């Protein structure tokens, strides 16, 4: 995927709040579509071929009144590109790990992805599990409860997303940005808890956001 856009750097832009986030998971789980939905607010059906190597987008968002620049890397899911993507894990602050709720294989491979993440990433990297394509009503093979159970096993936040409808897409990136902003903030403020934030959003929406 080619670079989609770069957020304009306002006078209040803070270089300290620039973070690297990586999308990982099997091929065809919707990583590129999820990124385009977050970046451009739209879904482009049938417009993507499998990502070759690495693509990226810079997205400048406002978190609690501060500018946070997310440098989001979209990685290829095919095995032949693994050695390339491993190199990008090392300086990543956050990883969004995706599976397709209509693909049993993509879900079963999550454990292998997590093994790689833990092997090649920093130990304090923020990890979030996303079950994508939640808009699909026929063809679901992975229950929401399955994703919830796996996330609890690894102690990571989880939610189901839809790159098509936009469900929880912005929330996923916002939660990560808030967590990263908290880690780099030197101000005296209550500690941000990503699990609690997602839970509060779940209660507001009443749908599809789980821990």
72 in any annotated domain? yes
Q: What percentage of the chain carries pLDDT values higher than 70?
A: 77
Domains: count for the chain: 1
Tell me the pLDDT tens digit for each residue of 52-111.
457 889 999 988 888 888 999 998 755 555 666 788 888 899 999 999 999 999 999 999
- Contact (CB, 8 A) for 132 and 100: yes
The CB-side HSE value for 181 (13 A sphere, CA atoms) comes to 23
The helix (H) or strand (E) run that includes residue 209 is strand 209-210
10 in any annotated domain? no
Boundaries of domain holding 24 = 15-210
186 in any annotated domain? yes
137 in any annotated domain? yes
Tell me the pLDDT tens digit for each residue of 111-152.
999 999 999 999 999 999 999 999 998 999 999 999 999 999
Q: Is the pLDDT of residue 8 over 60?
A: no
23 in any annotated domain? yes
Which residue, 97, 199, 211, is CA-closest to 155? 211
156 in any annotated domain? yes
What CATH number does residue 19 fall under? 3.40.50.300
pLDDT reported for residue 98:
98
9 in any annotated domain? no
Q: Is the pLDDT of residue 211 over 60?
A: no
Q: Which residues contact 44 (CB under 8 A, 6 or more apart)?
A: 33, 36
pLDDT reported for residue 79:
56
Query: To 10 degrees, what angle do helices 144-154 and 110-120 make?
Result: 30
């Amino acid at each position: 995927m080619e670079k989609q856009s770069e957020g304009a750097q306002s006078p209040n832009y803070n270089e300290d709040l620039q973070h690297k986030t990586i999308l990982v998971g099997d091929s065809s789980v919707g990583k590129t579509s999820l990124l385009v939905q977050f970046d451009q607010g739209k879904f482009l059906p049938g417009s993507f071929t499998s990502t070759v190597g690495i693509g990226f987008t810079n997205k400048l968002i406002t978190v609690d009144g501060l500018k946070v620049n997310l440098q989001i890397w979209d990685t290829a899911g095919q095995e032949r590109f693994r050695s390339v993507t491993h190199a990008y894990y090392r300086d990543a602050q956050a990883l969004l790990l995706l599976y397709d709720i209509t693909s049993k294989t993509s879900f079963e491979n999550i454990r292998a992805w997590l093994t790689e993440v833990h092997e090649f990433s920093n130990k304090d990297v923020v990890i979030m599990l996303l079950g994508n394509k939640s808009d699909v009503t026929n063809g679901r093979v992975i229950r929401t409860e399955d994703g919830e159970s796996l996330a609890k096993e690894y102690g990571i936040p989880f939610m189901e997303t839809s790159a098509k409808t936009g469900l929880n897409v912005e929330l996923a990136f916002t939660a990560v940005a808030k967590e990263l902003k908290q880690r780099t903030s030197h101000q005296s403020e209550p500690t941000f808890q990503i699990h609690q934030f997602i839970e509060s959003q779940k209660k507001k929406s009443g749908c599809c956001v789980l821990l």
